Structure 1
């Protein structure tokens, strides 16, 4: 039999000892989708050729592996003949043959590899997305959506004492953070002399993790919390500094409350009006008072929203009656726009252009109100605005106002199933009576000494 010439096309009917020349001369005839040239040295190794096209004038040639498993033909592409050497293709074909002889489908092995790689990428992506920093941010957003004013304080504490102070821990997956790391964050804040802030940091971090953990079983929590895959709360492994949680039991006494009232009573303008409103409504929480919406003001009542309830609960409405002088003080504040207590200016600038902020676009800062109170009460030693609230509570207790009424007036929370679910009374009459008792005390002046009475010292 005559030996084929080197220029002849290879015989596809017989297995061939693959060479670069044979592969180069392999072509796919017109009218066929593909042809295969079998290798004589590596069983199952083929060279596949496809017909020429506009994009590929010489067609496409690739090494493939072909064999049978359970009477089914298995074909797997190894790679382009320009990228793989013949020896490398034979080695890969032999590896696939060994896998097949063991009863394993090479395609299934590859599928598992692809799935494992995709899973690893997903885990990596989740780790980059579901970090401690993002969990804390989502928690603050959740608080804000619920109308909880604490979101501002939480954002500030997280920014200063987590993301800026501990950037590496902040970028860890949230479910990998340990209790020891949370304790280290608290320790740093304590060493800065901010014990109360350290406890607040712990409380906020604990609440954030509890929210994510509860998302598995509580449908009212947004779904994205579930993606953090939190099963353990690291902040729960830490202990607060109890010495920093002690209440400041220094309420203004009755005389100091009168002194404070006499100081703010004649103050003109918006400043005096706001301070009088704060005191005459029973020392409401400043953050809630300054957030009063104009739409929640009526002739004799204002409605605040208390966000200091249970975690995950929306802010609850808190109605406060207005005695006449409190209503007058609120009227002096000229409520309009969104917020009733606003220092935004209406009108136009001197150049005729409108001002950027209209009255009521933003509310008075709680810090500003507190600073005004401290300035007005300069004559009272150790004055702090929080002492007004505790002073009112203490005074009303001394006047016989029941604990429950004082609690409802200052929105200390409603405890017990009966009070929360069955008692529908609004207690407005009782709260108004308590405010009248407060006002009567503020207005009361000690009786002057009679002209015919000589003080003992003088005598």
Structure 2
């Protein structure tokens, strides 16, 4: 090991030895101070000494940035530390950790002051979309839409979503009082949508409280709010269902629709008791005309297979095959999305009062007339099993479901005054 008092000329003249990756030259004046030179010519000052029986080495800095006197002073400072039994590397690591902690705290504080509801909402939708159905995701998007866009089937522009007024509120400012103000505003205009939005908001804030980016901001869930819930009120209980004496008028009214796809869709809702979106999203690949069954995308079980009854099979076979969807339309999705106008028109012609979900209640109620077992009608409709035995032990074959499903369809048609004769050749006659 060669020792030379560092001078500007000497430092400039030092070179890496040929064939070596690096060479180190030591200052004869300052203990532990060295100049490391790599094969590429890079020069940096280093400090090396013994501590607790081991050799430690630290880089002071680039030779171009440090003067000789500055490097000597730094080496002397480090030497004092090691003579006291202090490892300068540990000291630097602790300082670095403190700086990183301070920077993390600064960013967290900045996030607390700047992150808005809409910013967190968009991230929420991105992360949760794969776990949701298309309809559930669409509900979330619509709740926060800005509005003012052209509608697909109307000249009117879209209106802001129910939660849009909260979009630019800082997440830290979303208090129970602010949610109550929102509930007062939206509940007076569109209470039904506001109740749904309130439920979605509560789940969203729960997610924020568990997310690493937002859990320091959300100290309490502002949507767990009894007063806001009271402001929005309870939804009206819907009990409407088609009575057997109303069936002739209702079926006759469906025949007056100019759209055969919509007419068949409404009849399919009644004859299967399925949820509206389950029927509207049926694909031709889900229909097996040979073996007479349909595969339904079920929100409870994921998929369920139900019988394809003769009259419904006849109606479906008559529909045009314009795309992959059974109930095709000109909407962006390619299938029926909203049947409310057609449904309201049929109800007005028939003189009955019924919401779009009333078909499920109608099917379940009419099944009692043929004494169909409750478990069978529930399985056809896709209801979650309500009893331990149903849930864990009962597994009904499709043929058993078909026996009862064909029976209730035939009874409904009889009450409606529709004469329907399935022939052996597979053709049906409707009078």
TM-score, normalized by the shorter chain, greater than 0.5? yes
Q: How does 1:362-441 map to 2 (within 5 A)?
A: 363-367=334-338, 369-379=339-349, 380=351, 384-397=355-368, 403-426=374-397, 427-441=401-415
Aligned to 2:167: 166
Pick one of 253, 257, 279 that aligns with 1:289: 279
Asked if 1:61 is matched to 2:57, the reply is no
- The residue that corresponds to 1:353 in the other structure is none
Per-residue CA distance 1:70-90 (angstroms, 9 max, x = gap): 232222111122212344334
Q: Counterpart of 2:295?
A: 303
Structure 2 residue matching 1:423: 3-state secondary structure = coil
Alignment-derived partner of residue 6 in structure 1: none
Q: What's 1:44 paired with? A: 32
Q: How does 1:74-153 map to 2 (within 5 A)?
A: 74-110=56-92, 133-144=122-133, 149-153=135-139
1:66·1:74 contact (CA, 8 Å) conserved in 2?
A: yes
Please, what is the CA RMSD of the aligned residues? Answer: 4.5
After TM superposition, give the deviation of residue 164 of structure 1 in Å.
8.1
Alpha-carbon distance between aligned partners in 1 of 2:306 and 2:100, rounded to the nearest angstrom: 55
Q: 1:390 to 1:120 in 2, by over 3 A?
A: farther
Q: Contact 1:258–1:441 (CA<8 Å) still a contact in 2?
A: yes
Q: Could you tell me which residue of structure 2 aligns to residue 191 of structure 1?
A: 185
Does the Cα contact within 8 Å between 2:240 and 2:358 map onto a contact in 1? yes
User: In structure 1, what is the Cα distance between the partners aligned to 2:3 and 2:52?
Assistant: 25
Q: Would the alpha carbon gap of residues 424 and 142 (structure 1) be closer, same or farther in structure 2, given more than 3 Å must change?
A: same
Contact 1:280 1:435 in 2 (8 A): no
- Which whole-Å deviations, capped at 9, do the CAs of 1:350-393 have from their partners, x for residues lacking one? xxxxxxx9xxx9542221x3322223333337554333443444
> Could you list the per-position Cα deviations for residues 266-319 of structure 1 after superposition, in whole angstroms to 9, with x for gaps in the alignment?
545534542453254144321110111212213343232221x3xxxx523141
SS at match of 1:319: strand
**Structure 1 counterpart SS, 2:132:** helix
* Aligned CA distance change for structure 1 residues 400 and 25 (closer, same or farther; 3 Å): closer
The answer as to whether partners of 1:264 and 1:376 remain within 8 angstroms in 2 is yes
Give, in whole Å, the separation in 2 of the partners of 1:12 and 1:413: 86
Q: Distance in 2 between matches of 1:108 and 1:293?
A: 66
Give the SS at the match of 1:100: helix
CA contact (8 A) 1:206 1:233 kept: no
Contact 2:246 / 2:352 at 8 angstroms: preserved in 1? no
Say which one has the larger Rg. 1
Please state how far the C-alpha of 1:327 moved relative to its aligned partner: 2.1
1:182–1:238 CA contact under 8 A, matched in 2: yes
Q: Which moved more, 1:393-402 or 1:257-266?
A: 393-402
Q: Distance in 2 between matches of 1:236 and 1:304?
A: 34
Q: What residue is the counterpart of 1:352 in the other structure?
A: none
Q: Structure 1: how far apart are the matches of 2:241 and 2:16?
A: 97
- Could you tell me how far apart the structure 2 residues matched to 1:31 and 1:388 are? 89
Q: Distance in 1 between matches of 2:265 and 2:43?
A: 87
The one of 288, 293, 311 aligned to 1:325: 311
Distance in 1, matches of 2:8 and 2:272, equals: 96
Tell whether the 8 Å contact from 1:140 to 1:154 is kept in structure 2 after alignment: no
Deviations 1:157-211 (A, max 9, x none): 3654668842565xx7xxxx89x65885586266223333344335445557889
- Please tell me whether the aligned partners of residues 372 and 404 of structure 2 are also in contact (alpha carbons under 8 angstroms): no
CA distance in 1, matches of 2:404, 2:285: 24
* Structure 1: runs of 5+ lacking an equivalent: 1-10, 54-58, 215-224, 345-356, 445-459
Please give the secondary structure, in 2, of the residue aligned with 1:366: coil
Q: Which residue of 2 aligns with 1:342?
A: 328
Task: Measure, in 1, the Cα distance between the counterparts of 2:17 and 2:288.
Answer: 91
After superposition, the Cα gap between the structure-2 partners of 1:260 and 1:267, relative to the gap in structure 1 and judged at 3 Å, is same
CA contact (8 A) 1:291 1:363 kept: no
Aligned position for 1:262: 252
Structure 1 residue 247 displacement after superposition: 2.6
- 1:4 aligned residue: none
